Every structure is written in structure tokens, then in C-alpha cells.
Structure 1
Amino acid sequence: MSLEEDYLFVYDALKDALRFSAPTNNEVIPLIDLTLLDEAASDNALLLLNQKAHRHQVAAICVYPQHLKKISSSIVAQPFSLPQDAEGKKVKLATVVNFPEGDQSTQHVLTAVDNILSTNLADEIDYVFPHQFYLEGEQKEALKQCQQTHQLCKQAGITFKVILETGALPSLAFIYQLSMAVIGEGCDFLKTSTGKIAQGATFSAAFAILKAIKDSKATCGLKVSGGIKKPEQALTYMALAKQMFDREPDKSWFRIGASSLLDELIN
């Protein structure tokens, strides 16, 4: 069975499954990486983001590196806004590297990671894989950059998410093969998209990544992002993950990156 045929088979099975049982809105919220990737974000916008994230206990807050300090300082200033979740852990702080184009030199990327680590503020890093270099034939160099970045994060105990930018990739087979290659170099999550190009997450791309994770038998999660604004979209991606792995999605291996989805879920 080809990858496309496998996808259609899973898609048809999922449609049937969703008719009988679908995740609830309350099951979506703990999986959200609440995102504000705006370099011009105001202090007030960051404060409100932080308050909302902790009030509703999302998985993580994702902002630019220069905004980590503001988020962190607002946490210290407002300890009452930090109810702990069932596992006794606070909302994680995530940031981005090589973002959004994925075109920075390896030295620039590693220096950026070192700078983030030196602040001791971030729990997670979302790194844009150099997909253009990879597409242009520089596969070894692109994968080496990814591996070196992962090693820095691993040594520091930082969760490492690799953004593939699936909307820029030519086919399902390519997404699957690249996912397998990146898993081989090491990562904690594969992520679909930056949300900064026209094509964000798609159901077929998420399937290809999940198939690679399953086939590799790796301990690796999926983060879907880019254009996920409605609860129905989130619920369908969650159902896909459950269908393929036969277990309920949780934040240790499944995330949804979104800026406005939480508002839709709570209003």
C-alpha cells in the first residue's frame, strides 16, 4: 500500500470513528502551545498572554526569545496566576530559533541557542529546519545543523521541536522521508509549520509525520500548527493521533500551536 493509499484508508476510518466519539473542547486546551510570535508585541499583550495561559493551563507559551524575560518577570510578579496542573508542573515557556525562514547559518543558530540557554528562561525550543537548503541538495549540511542544535538542547534538558514547514515541501512521501531523517538525528517533537507562509498544517502532512514516528518506533511527538483556529480542526487532528497510536493524546507527545484557538474554545 502506498503512502497516499494508506492515508486515504486512515482518513476514511477516522470519519467513521468521529461519528461515534470525538474529543471535547476541554481535552484540547491542555495540548495548546499558546503562541504570540510578533516581534512588536507590547508588554501588555505579553502580560495578557501569560495570564490567559495560566488561567486555562495550556501546555506552553511560545514567544520570541526577546520576550521570554517579560513573560518570566510577569510570572514572578503574579504568583497567584500560577495554579499547578494535575502533574504539579507549571506552564512551559517556549521560544523559536532559525525562525521563520530557516535560512540562518549553523553558527548563527548555535549562538542563538546558547544565548537562550544562558538566560535559563526557556523550557522548550521550536527550531525551523533549513528546508530550503535541504531542497536545494544540501541534505547533509541541513541535517547536521539539526543534529548539533538538538545536542545543545538535549544537554540542557530543553524540549526540542523541529519545524519542517510542510507547506513548502513537495509531497507526502517527501514529508515522510524528511521526518524519518530528522527523527534519526534526534528530536522531541516534529512540528508541521511556522504559521508564517500561506500553507500551514494539513491533515495529510500530519498523517505523514505520524506515520514516520510510528514506523521509526521513536519517542517523538507531533505538534500541528499554522492556521488551526477552530475547535473542529483541533479535534480532528487529535482524533487522527489517537487513531494512529491507539491512545489518548496528551501534551507529552501531542501539541497544537495556535494564537486564537483558545479564545474559540473558552467563549
Structure 2
Amino acid sequence: MDATLARLVEEAKLAAPDAKIAERALPLLDLTSLNDDDTDERIVALCDRAVTPAGRVAAVCIHPRFIPVAKRRLENKGVAIATVVNFPGGGESAAEVAGSTRDAIRAGADEIDVVLPWRDFKAGERTVPNDILRACRDACGDGILMKVILETGGLDDADLIERASRDAVAAGADFLKTSTGKLQPAATLEAAAIMLAVIRDSGKPVGFKAAGGIRDTAGAATYLHLAGALMGEGWATPSTFRFGASGLLDALLGDLGQGATGQKPRGGY
């Protein structure tokens, strides 16, 4: 990471949380449950938490099999349904990814979070990852958001994260996302700075999603500060910036004086 980005990361770590940050962060939240043992009942509870006295979250992010449950529960609520493909390992073929994406969209998904084949990418392979992202992009068409999960904790190298970010943007990503939440470290400010700088330099309308390990308003404040420093104050809106999290919602509501909203999903988020 160059000196400018390193300085911005250090400054972001000093960002102070307050109720205004909590109010700003809540509508940026992709409320997430991606546990292997999720049930219909747990997803219903998740959806019921998505609309709060302080406002609604941007989306719920769930496994594809629960899309119909979420769609029924969130009908006319103004909350998008996001799901994952090639998740979490990134080992599916381009044809499988395209098929899974089309199936999810037919079931009612509004947003697709697709895992870059980061192990292949780390090993030097470029054609297979590119083919998978382009297959997903084609399946999404123009109306469905495609968020590309880089799994930055697995890439664990600034140059690799930068290259993967550039390739994902070139393949048509609508968002760059840090992590699956299944591998540690998950989201880090250092990875976020590299990804945001690539988005800025691309000149394209690409958003950013920090996912995994962000559990309180203080953590949210650091990422919002960093995004403002790199992209401009006010850039972070639901169309350009998301937090992938579960427990973060209760923390934000607590700081807004609203208390908890019920059962918290389990898992890496």
C-alpha cells in the first residue's frame, strides 16, 4: 500500500462514532445470515428485523434456498433481497455460476454476491476467474446488481487485491465486496482502501461493500470516514456503499436509542 493510502487508513481508525454515524450507517446495511444450519424460521426473524423504528436496511443477504421465504416476508417493504453464488469457496464453473445466478433471479433475488475464484487468482490464473465473473454478469443482465466478493483475507497481498479489484471492475462488477465472512481476516481498512482507490481511479459507477467483522458503530465509522476521504463526502449511499453484517444492526439501534430488535443471526458476519 502506498503512503497516501496508509495515512488515510490511520486517520480512519481515529474516526469517532456517534448517533449521526449510526443513523447514516443503518440504511447501508445488508442484514446477513449465511449459516449452514439456517432455517425458514430464522430467515423470517431476519426479515422481521429489516424494518426498524429508525428506518429500514438496504437488503437482506441469505442463501438462495431462502429467497422465496424472504420475498414473501418483505413484500412491499422496500428491502432488497441479496443472495450468494459460488459461495463460499469459489470453486464452481462458469456454467454452474451462470445457472445458479439465473435460478436465484427467477426466485426473486435483486442482488447477486458472487465469489471470485480467489484461490485460482492467487495461483496466477486469470482466464477462469474472468470467465466466471462475466458469466455471472451476463446472467444478471442490466437489472440485477452484481457484487464481487474478492475474499481479501485469502488474497492477503496488496498487489493481488488491487489486481483482483481491477479485473472485477473490468468484468462488470456493480460492487466490490471484501469477504465471505467465512475466512479470517474478513474486512480490513487496508483492503478497503485499495479497493476504493481502484473504484475511484476506474471512473466507473462501482460501489463498495465491507463484509465480515463489523459489529459496532465505531467500526462502521472507520469505513465511512475512509470512503469519504477517498471518494468524497456524501458518496456513501445505499447505491454505492454497503455493510455486510448481522450484529451491527443491534449496535446501531442501541446508539439510536431504539434498543435491540430480536434474535441475532449467527456466523462470521
| Equivalent of residue 97 in structure 1, options 72, 85, 90 | 85
Question: Does structure 1 residue 199 correspond to structure 2 residue 181?
Answer: no
Percent of pairs with identical residues: 35
- For residues 160-199 of structure 1, the aligned pairs below 5 Å read 160-199=146-185
Cα pair distance change 1:8/1:23, threshold 3 Å: farther
AA at the equivalent of 1:8: A
How far is the alpha carbon of 1:19 from its aligned partner?
A: 6.2
Q: Give the match for residue 148 of structure 1.
A: 135
How far is the alpha carbon of 1:239 from its aligned partner?
A: 0.8
Cα distance in 2 for partners of 1:198, 1:246 equals: 29
Cα pair distance change 1:67/1:247, threshold 3 Å: same
Q: Give the match for residue 42 of structure 1.
A: 39
* Contact 1:94/1:124 (8 A) holds in 2: yes
- Secondary structure (helix, strand or coil) at the match of 2:51 reads helix
* Contact 1:164/1:190 (8 A) holds in 2: yes
Cα pair distance change 1:47/1:174, threshold 3 Å: same
How far is the alpha carbon of 1:136 from its aligned partner?
A: 2.0
How far is the alpha carbon of 1:21 from its aligned partner?
A: 9.2
How far is the alpha carbon of 1:98 from its aligned partner?
A: 0.3
Higher relative contact order (CA 8 A, sep 6+): 2
| Equivalent of residue 95 in structure 2, options 90, 107, 110 | 107
AA at the equivalent of 2:63: Y
- Secondary structure (helix, strand or coil) at the match of 1:201 reads coil
- For residues 1-267 of structure 1, the aligned pairs below 5 Å read 3-14=1-12, 18=15, 23-55=20-52, 56-76=55-75, 82=77, 90-119=78-107, 121-155=108-142, 157-248=143-234, 249-267=236-254
How far is the alpha carbon of 1:32 from its aligned partner?
A: 0.3
AA at the equivalent of 1:74: R
How far is the alpha carbon of 1:208 from its aligned partner?
A: 0.3
Q: Give the unaligned 5+ runs of structure 1.
A: 83-89
* Contact 1:23/1:235 (8 A) holds in 2: no
* Contact 2:29/2:58 (8 A) holds in 1: yes
Cα pair distance change 1:256/1:73, threshold 3 Å: same
- Secondary structure (helix, strand or coil) at the match of 1:24 reads helix
How far is the alpha carbon of 1:262 from its aligned partner?
A: 0.2
AA at the equivalent of 1:99: F
* Contact 1:154/1:160 (8 A) holds in 2: no
Q: Give the unaligned 5+ runs of structure 2.
A: 255-269
Q: Give the match for residue 85 of structure 1.
A: none
Cα pair distance change 1:114/1:208, threshold 3 Å: same
Cα distance in 2 for partners of 1:15, 1:197 equals: 22
Cα distance in 2 for partners of 1:192, 1:75 equals: 26
Encode CA deviations 1:10-56: one digit per residue, 9 max, x unaligned. Answer: 2344467x369995211110000000112322222211111110234
Q: What root-mean-square deviation, in Å, do the aligned CA atoms of Structure 1 and Structure 2 show?
A: 1.9
* Contact 2:25/2:220 (8 A) holds in 1: yes
Cα distance in 2 for partners of 1:33, 1:182 equals: 20
Q: Give the match for residue 87 of structure 1.
A: none
User: With structure 1 as the length reference, what TM-score do the two structures score?
Assistant: 0.88
Cα distance in 2 for partners of 1:195, 1:243 equals: 25
Aligned length: 251
User: With structure 2 as the length reference, what TM-score do the two structures score?
Assistant: 0.88
Cα pair distance change 1:25/1:152, threshold 3 Å: same
Cα distance in 2 for partners of 1:28, 1:36 equals: 18
Encode CA deviations 1:123-172: one digit per residue, 9 max, x unaligned. Answer: 100000111111223211211211121121124x1100000000001311
* Contact 1:68/1:122 (8 A) holds in 2: yes
